[in-house]
Chains A and B, each alone.
Chain A
Amino acid sequence: MAPPTFDPTHAVTFDLASGRVHLEDAPARVLVPADALAALASAAGDDAARALGAAMGAPAGRRAARRLGDASAATLAAWVEHLGGELALLGLGSLGVERWGSALVLTFDHCALGDALAAAVLASAFDAATGKPVQVVPLARDATRARFLVTGAAGADKARGWLAEGVSWGDVLVRLHAGGAA
């Protein structure tokens, strides 16, 4: 059975009379410059950035899981379809999924946020949808695409260590599959 497609009809309401912007049942939103928000998040530190990201991604994960019913039971494609739609409405970019072996890699194209804030948004969204605590490690970023590894706490620590050593994101994935001994 094909997964239900994301329907953004009347997802955003611009109340010009009252000067508000509404996103379904969520409270009022503010359209702020992405660069200004990224600069603020980086300046605020990791805890402040994680809190900001959680405030942004948790509602999106919940709306996606509500459409899907049971997010854990949904297919990976359906999950990417609805979560990606919600993040698109926030203006964060286009979400994608890559599977490298057992590793689950999320891609963000045209991401307007920084790596730390974007990783916090994605982790909060998965937590709110599945109820499982996940770690999102930024692997790499080029001109258009940013890759994020979804893993547990042990694997996230190893990956951040290897990445800090200058190991490529491919070798990090290979090492993770090898048991993380190397």
Chain B
Amino acid sequence: MKHASRIQALEGLLNRVRARATEPRASQRAEAHAVSTAERHDPEPPTARPGHDPAEVGPGARDLPAVEASRVTEDPPVAAQRVAEPAPPVVVPAPVPTPAPAPEPPPPAALEELEELGPADEESPQSSTRPRPPADELEVLEEEDVIDGSPLPPVVAPAAEVTPAPLAAAAPAPLSAPSSGEIMSAELLPEPPPPRPQLRSVPPPLPAAATPARPRSIPPPFPGVGRPPKPESLEAEVPQHRVGPTPEQLGGTIDLEEGPPADLELAPVAGPKSEEAPSEHEAVLPKATSPGLFTGPRPSAPQPQPDEVALEVPASPAPPAAPAPVAAPAPVALAIAPEVAARATTPSAEVARFVAAARAPSPETLGEVLAASLALGT
């Protein structure tokens, strides 16, 4: 009996659906879109709308500010995701619509009739992102659709889905509507929901360094809706930004430290350069070459550092192959010249005259001198 009553109800619904299918679907879709758009852009919060009971959207809706509500209305898909957040197993709208968990499969006859309806009946009735049907139609359904003599429950779930329900309004009640509500949803929303551009338009993952900071007011993407992170893609990006040796290379370095075996090492070259003291080298070098061909510096004094010896090599005198004329030390000649010249400039004749002319002056008075001078010529 129960199946029979249900079948009758389904037939009624199917009839009405057929009748409605004859109507132009485009106009209906436009009308539904207009209604949903009007509700989305409603500046008033849902709690302020006349005739709207906040209790329908769930507890806590009154406490939310208007800004939060408006923000949610601007992004209906996100709002729908938020609504579905409390019950992930049921609401998570994966990109591929999951089959609705029908409480009971319809009888084969009903299925045949449903198949005749075409693709309009194939969609999932639990899609919360479906555009809300016109309000007048909802009212009609509330008044007319009666199953088993009882009026259908008010279609609260679509209202909660479309209206700018805040985050706290994600009451599972509309989604967990009674099984009868599922059927009603299938009737009310015969058309398949348009593809969600929001879900598909998830921006590709940017590089870690180029990812802009997300504004604080914008919530993070829903974990169940957005593209799940791909570990393989992250691993592919890491080598591009990594600078430096990889752990494998570091391991190779450790291997190098071990070094080859001792038998592969080169034997020390036997030559003049050894670890002996530099002074010993300098003592041996003159013996190895002949004095005439030796062009290096002759050992004069033991040098403690080999670097100092190398610096002194350019300052060595010219090789003996080009004999340089022996020049007298000019500085010495200049130093003696003034002495010789001084002796030469003093003639001995003048010295003799000076000695001869020298006479001890005797103090004479004016009278004596005058008397001697007056005696001249006498």
Contacts and interface: CB of A to CB of B under 8 A. Distances in A.
B373 A151 contact: yes
Given A151-B376, A176-B376, A75 B370 contact: no
A159 interface: yes
Contacts, number: 69
What are the nearest 8 A-B pairs in CB distance? A155-B377, A72-B367, A104-B373, A152-B374, A176-B376, A102-B372, A155-B376, A180-B377
Contacts of B374: 132, 134, 150-152, 155
Contacts of A10: none
Contacts of B364: 75-76
Nearest to B371: A132
Nearest to B374: A152
Most buried by B among A102, A159, A180: A102
Interface residues of B, number: 14
B50 interface: no
A16 interface: no
7 contacts: A72-B366, A72-B370, A75-B365, A102-B376, A154-B378, A156-B377, A180-B377
B262 interface: no
B57 to A, nearest CB: 133
Contacts of A78: 366
Contact of B377 (A73, A76, A126, A152): A152
Nearest to A150: B373
Contacts of A155: 374-378
Interface string B34-72: 000000000000000000000000000000000000000
A131 to B, nearest CB: 10
B351 to A, nearest CB: 23
B336 interface: no
Interface string B339-378: 0000000000000000000000001111101101111111
Contacts of B369: 76, 99, 104
Interface of B: 363-367, 369-370, 372-378
A176 B366 contact: no
A2 to B, nearest CB: 12
Contacts of B367: 72-73, 130
Nearest to A80: B366
B346 to A, nearest CB: 27
B365 A151 contact: no
Interface of A: 71-76, 78-79, 99, 102-104, 126, 130, 132, 134, 149-152, 154-159, 176-177, 180
Main SS of chain A's interface residues? mixed
Contacts of B375: 102, 152, 155
Contacts of A157: 377
B368 to A, nearest CB: 9
A76 B365 contact: yes
A154 to B, nearest CB: 5
Contacts of B373: 102-104, 149-151
Contacts of B366: 71-76, 78-79, 130
Q: Find the residue from A130, A151, A180 having the highest chain B CB count within 10 A.
A: A151
Nearest to B372: A102
Nearest to B363: A75
Contacts of B376: 102-103, 151-152, 155, 176-177, 180
Query: Which residue, of B366, B367, B369, B373, has the highest number of chain A Cβ atoms within 10 A?
Result: B366
A152 B371 CA distance: 9
B354 to A, nearest CB: 18
A102 B369 CA distance: 7
Contacts of A149: 373
A151 B365 CA distance: 16
A84 to B, nearest CB: 13
Contacts of A152: 374-378
B358 to A, nearest CB: 15
Nearest to B361: A99
B372 to A, nearest CB: 4
Nearest to B378: A154
Contacts of A130: 366-367, 370
Contacts of B365: 72-76
A103 B378 CA distance: 12
Q: Which of B364, B367, B370, B372 has most A Cβ within 10 Å?
A: B370
A175 to B, nearest CB: 8
A159 B372 CA distance: 16
B377 A134 contact: no
A132 B370 contact: yes
